[in-house]
Amino acid sequence: MVYLDHAATSPMLPEVLEAYIAAATAGGNASSLHCSGRKARRLVEESRERVAAVLGARPGEVVFTAGGTESDNLAVKGIYWGRRDQGHTRVLASAVEHKAVIDAVEWLERHEGAEVTWLDVDGLGRVHPEALEAALGPDVALATVMWANNEVGTVQPVAELAAVARAAGVPLHTDAVQAIGQLPVDFTASGAAALTLTGHKLGGPTGVGALLLDRDVQCTPLLHGGGQERDVRSGTLDVAGIVAFARAVELAGARQEIFATELAVLRDEMIDRIRDAVPCALLNGDPADRLPANVHFSFPGCEGDALLMLLDAQGIECSTGSACSAGVAQPSHVLMAMGADSARARSSLRFSLGHGSTKTDIDALVAALPTAVERARRAGKIRR
């Protein structure tokens, strides 16, 4: 199989698996006071320090969670609740956010009385600082704009956006799940008040991640219980998962520059060869300022889900650019926000590279793609 879906999840690295097994066999609850508990706590705190060092944060700003979705929900809901009593009842969010953010924002609107302002993006999927500035006001609880888009790969000007928000006294949350490991990410330098990351995009374990949270930002917990993680996130800590997660973050930081350079070469070759193989294919996202591992095309006349399955039958694993609900393909909300029509938004595929990706993968994709596109077009005409 040719795996071109690293943006969904990336296989665990051998060094990470080794760290996980070593911690998992040690045992101990990090909240216990006996010797095994103290050893487990030490592993957690050392992991916290390693994550903080890689990402330019203070150890006390690292809150371990069960992954990106929990971190996004904790940031969006928690910061909103923490500031609502001071009259801050409006949330600003970009129209191209991950569903974990969009659904959290819409839940606050439906159930908690939040007012929501969706920030427009340009044709490349970028939020301009001027758009954020125009939307700010004394009633804003928080703004949330992802560091890099999970579908089309466009990189946002996070530092500029955070500076605009900070000048207005508004905390900015950024989902950096796709950015870490591919781009230089420094929490303090970015000016963001909260930052989401997860392990399984980095060759780490699934089910563990973190929220980097500025100590001065009020955040009401979603979970209540033992008060672990500075009373922001209760729950017995997954010591082995945290140790493995920290190792994955450490490796991602150490290898980021070389990794990004190598992947960008493969990405650019893939873009050129897809265009040669399928001349009508349309590249989505910023052609230059995009994630080094991201390639996202629309294929006119095709349904993205049909094309995905035709490629899968030939051993090529990728992702549709549209969200699927109950087996019914929906137009990509990201492409729609960028101004694409419904047909283009339904015809997209994302090919994402990662550790282990090679030129041979591109060869296999390009060999399979023209026939798959032609068959998908014929199938679309029959359905119509």
pLDDT value of position 27? 86
pLDDT band at 379 (very low <50, low <70, confident <90, very high): confident
Distances (CA, A) of 218 to 20, 23, 108, 141, 170: 33, 33, 17, 11, 12
**Predicted confidence (pLDDT) at residue 322 exceeds the cutoff of 60:** no
pLDDT band at 103 (very low <50, low <70, confident <90, very high): very high
pLDDT band at 94 (very low <50, low <70, confident <90, very high): very high
Order the strands of the 172-175 sheet from edge to edge: 62-65, 209-213, 194-198, 172-175, 140-144, 90-94, 115-119
Examine the residue annotation and report whether 324 is marked as an active-site residue of this protein.
Answer: yes
Q: Mean pLDDT across the stretch 16-20?
A: 98
**Catalytic one of 219, 302, 318, 324:** 324
Residue 145 identity = V
CA distance 384 to 378: 10
